[in-house]
Amino acid sequence: MSTATELTIRRPDDWHLHLRDGGMLKGVIGDASRHFARAIIMPNLVPPVVTTADAAAYRERIMAVLPKGDRFEPLMTLYLTEGTDPDDLEAGHASGLITAVKLYPAGATTNSHGGVRNFENAMPALERMAKIGLPLCVHGEVTTPEVDIFDREAVFIETVLDPLRARLPELKVTMEHVTTKDGIDYIKSSKANLAGSITTHHLIINRNAILVGGIRPHYYCLPVAKREVHRLALRAAATSGDARFFLGTDSAPHVDPLKECACGCAGIYTSINTMSCLAHVFEQENALDKLEAFTSLNGPAWYGLPVNDETITLRKRAEAVTYPEKIETEAGTVTVFDPMFPLHWQVV
């Protein structure tokens, strides 16, 4: 265990973030902009962000509610559909507005019903992305009903991702929110054009958190947390310093009534306490010296962006840091991720 009590790192970025829209956006944006300089913003709104014009309008709504004085850059994405216009995404990328395109297999997660079912229909867009160097961010799960939910990621790699990468080897792919040893091993075995984001909560919880002692909906997310062997593989990858792995929180707010019901939504809200949680994890792994790479260096290198000039300082306190159990938004109450252990690291 490290004995360090203060750590200064380049200001981090979040390479996978849900801000939602309307009253929810207004309520959660400050928790992201407080610590993160940039974030890749997920496009699965209702309706989804499918065109460059949609992305420009959404970016304007984000900037309109950004807390005064915060310096935060939303990196916009397009929601890939079978009808995505290659010329539109190329124009959006050339303008600097579009950082990546997001693949949701239809039905994989929240607001993904308009995602891709037939990959042949999406190939013109994917081929154009490969040509112009526009990254594809993938929600790496199959949704066929015969596949067990805990096997969705491994089956996706075998049946969808590997064939796609063989067909378009120049396509740059981010496996977002990797949750399995299978995913980690696949990324590590790749020679080029593949990286993975890892969430805060998947470094901390396994599937017992959802199911032991009663069903606990605020630990339910998609991809769902897996066995302990997979959590340990994620921790090893995140704390290794390997440039192919970086932070993407997948912080995903839902109001409590939509979590605490007979068919609850998937998503865990971590923006507010992610840096405290990560410092705890990296200290446990004797890897505080690798925290900056995971949160602040590897992601910009992968996406071809400069490292942030600003820094933040984390300090370890003797007494536990307190975070609210819930936050209030105009859309309703959102429960904050509870790591189930006291947090002592705090951004100062």
Q: Does 263 have pLDDT greater than 50?
A: yes
pLDDT-derived band at 99, boundaries 50, 70, 90: very high
Determine the pLDDT at residue 1.
47
Q: Which superfamily, per CATH, for 6-347? A: Metal-dependent hydrolases (3.20.20.140)
- Among residues 311, 307, 246, 308, the alpha carbon closest in space to that of 278 is found at 246
Question: What residues act catalytically?
Answer: 250
Residues 6 or more apart from 282 whose CB is under 8 A from it? 238, 239, 288, 290, 291, 294
pLDDT-derived band at 54, boundaries 50, 70, 90: very high
Cis ω on the peptide bond leading into residue 223 (within 30° of 0)?
yes
**Pairing, β 6-10 against β 14-17:** unpaired
Q: Does 59 have pLDDT greater than 50?
A: yes
Task: Report d(CA 10, CA 307) in Å as an integer.
Answer: 8
Q: Does 39 have pLDDT greater than 70?
A: yes
CB atoms within 10 A of CB 113: 12
Determine the pLDDT at residue 121.
93
What are phi and psi for residue 164, nearest 5 degrees?
Answer: -65, -45
Task: Report d(CA 245, CA 174) in Å as an integer.
Answer: 10
Cis ω on the peptide bond leading into residue 47 (within 30° of 0)?
yes
For 211-239, write each residue's pLDDT tens digit.
999 999 999 999 999 999 999 999 999 99
Is residue 86 within 8 A of residue 243, CB to CB? The reply is no
- Among residues 308, 177, 312, 336, the alpha carbon closest in space to that of 248 is found at 177
Measured distance between the N- and C-terminal CA atoms of the chain, rounded to whole angstroms:
22
**Percent of the chain whose predicted confidence (pLDDT) is above 70:** 97
Across 124-149, average pLDDT: 96
Strands of the 311-321 sheet, one edge to the other: 6-10, 311-321, 343-347
- Among residues 312, 255, 246, the alpha carbon closest in space to that of 28 is found at 255
For 176-214, write each residue's pLDDT tens digit.
999 999 999 999 999 999 999 999 999 999 999 999 999
Determine the pLDDT at residue 280.
98
Beta strands in 188-310 (DSSP E): 194-198, 245-247
Q: Does 17 have pLDDT greater than 60?
A: yes
What the block records as the tokens of 57 is 């309008």
Determine the pLDDT at residue 63.
98
Domain boundaries, the chain: 6-347
Determine the pLDDT at residue 2.
54
For 152-173, write each residue's pLDDT tens digit.
999 999 999 999 999 999 999 9
